[in-house]
């Protein structure tokens, strides 16, 4: 079979995955180079163009001050994506460290860490995020930290299970028998072999983090107006649903598209791993 046929078969068999990849790629580009998509000012509006519906000049319409909604969605991608990435990194780093410590050392330390993890998992992530961000204060960074801490329990539990599985392997026992210290065994054998499933979990958590970051932004805990942020854009259009439905609909659809795309890509990665 020719190499040119293989990409065509892949596109035909997995169109949803390809579309999801394009969506995520577009969001990444918008986050780093929003001017490639729009030249409109996301902060300053034109009062004479307020509350205009979707058109060729304003793809997503305009808001109550005449700002282009599409420009605000595009420029909001950077802030929302940075918060999402920071949240996933916090959950990944803190959760993996706790799981690695619990699984590697065992004993009373394992029991204490896992009881903390049980408490974190007993509370819904969005409620825990809300409580944490209330204590930390407003701001995108605080929102990201709160979402990350609220989701670290899953990483800790998975990392601990993987460490226990790898630690009982023959190659670990052989390394110890050959005189390698536990620190070397941990760095060379246990951690590299336990990290794969945790990385897959990180991709799965991206979609959840987008939703939770947007939810907290919707409630007003994110960036201060008029900074564009996806959740805040949805909240800003609530009072105009009857007359300007596009102010809420298009930012909401953007969040939904990113979440669905991230989940589709994560399922594909999980399938490849298994």
Q: Each residue of 128-174: pLDDT tens digit?
A: 898 899 888 888 889 999 999 999 999 999 988 888 887 776 666 67
- For residue 179, the model assigns a pLDDT of 63
Distance CA 186, CA 172 (A): 9
Q: What is the mean pLDDT of the chain?
A: 84
Residue 4 maps to a domain: no
Q: pLDDT tens digits for 199-250?
A: 888 888 898 899 999 999 998 888 887 888 899 899 888 888 888 899 999 9
Identify the pLDDT of residue 163.
84
Distance between CA atoms of 73 and 87, rounded to whole angstroms? 20
Name which of 123, 83, 130 is nearest 258 in CA terms: 83
How far, in Å, CA of 50 to CA of 35, rounded? 22
**Mean pLDDT within 27-56:** 89
Asked if residue 176 is part of any domain, the answer here is: yes
Query: What pLDDT does residue 1 have?
Result: 44
* Structural contact between residues 187 and 180, judged by C-beta atoms closer than 8 angstroms: no
Write down the pTM of the prediction: 0.85
147 within some domain: yes
Assigned domain for 62 exists: yes
Residue 268 has pLDDT above 50, yes or no: yes
Which pLDDT band, with edges at 50, 70 and 90, does 8 fall under? low
**2: pLDDT confidence band, cut at 50, 70 and 90?**
very low
- Paired with 62 in beta bridges are 68
Instruction: Kindly report the CATH number assigned to the domain that includes residue 218.
Output: 1.10.3720.10
In a domain, 50, yes or no: no
Q: What pLDDT does 3 receive?
A: 47
CB 213 within 8 A of CB 144: yes
Phi, psi of 157 (to 5 degrees): -65, -40
Q: Is residue 192 part of a domain?
A: yes
Q: Is the pLDDT of residue 4 over 80?
A: no
Pick the range with the lowest mean pLDDT from 37-46, 120-129, 156-165, 174-183. Answer: 174-183
Q: Where are the alpha helices (DSSP H) in 168-190?
A: 170-177, 182-185
Q: Does the pLDDT of residue 5 top 50, yes or no?
A: no
Q: Specify the pLDDT at position 136.
A: 86
80 is a domain residue: yes
Let me know if residue 8 belongs to a domain: no
CA gap 100, 141 in Å, rounded: 26
In the chain, what percentage of residues exceed pLDDT 70?
A: 87
Q: How many domains does the chain have?
A: 1
Domain residue limits at 77: 26-38+56-273
């Amino acid at each position: 079979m020719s190499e040119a046929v293989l990409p065509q078969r892949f596109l035909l068999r997995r169109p949803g995955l390809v579309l999801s990849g394009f969506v995520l790629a577009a969001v990444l580009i918008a986050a780093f180079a929003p001017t490639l998509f729009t030249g409109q000012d996301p902060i300053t509006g034109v009062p004479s163009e307020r509350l205009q519906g979707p058109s060729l000049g304003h793809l997503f319409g305009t808001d109550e001050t005449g700002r282009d909604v599409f420009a605000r969605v595009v420029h909001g991608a950077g802030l929302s994506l940075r918060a999402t990435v920071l949240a996933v990194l916090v959950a990944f780093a803190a959760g993996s460290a706790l799981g690695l410590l619990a699984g590697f050392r065992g004993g009373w330390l394992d029991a204490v860490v896992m009881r903390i993890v049980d408490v974190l998992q007993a509370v819904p992530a969005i409620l825990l995020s809300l409580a944490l961000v209330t204590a930390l204060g407003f701001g995108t960074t605080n929102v990201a930290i709160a979402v990350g801490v609220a989701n670290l329990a899953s990483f800790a539990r998975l990392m601990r299970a993987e460490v226990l599985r790898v630690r009982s392997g023959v190659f670990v026992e052989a390394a110890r028998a050959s005189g390698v210290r536990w620190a070397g065994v941990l760095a060379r054998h246990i951690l590299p072999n336990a990290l794969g499933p945790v990385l897959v979990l990180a991709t799965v958590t991206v979609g959840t983090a987008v939703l939770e970051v947007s939810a907290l932004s919707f409630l007003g805990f994110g960036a201060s107006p008029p900074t564009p942020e996806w959740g805040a854009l949805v909240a800003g259009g609530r009072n105009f649903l009857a007359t300007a439905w596009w102010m809420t609909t298009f930012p909401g659809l953007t969040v939904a598209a990113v979440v669905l795309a991230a989940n589709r890509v994560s399922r594909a990665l999980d399938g490849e791993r298994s």
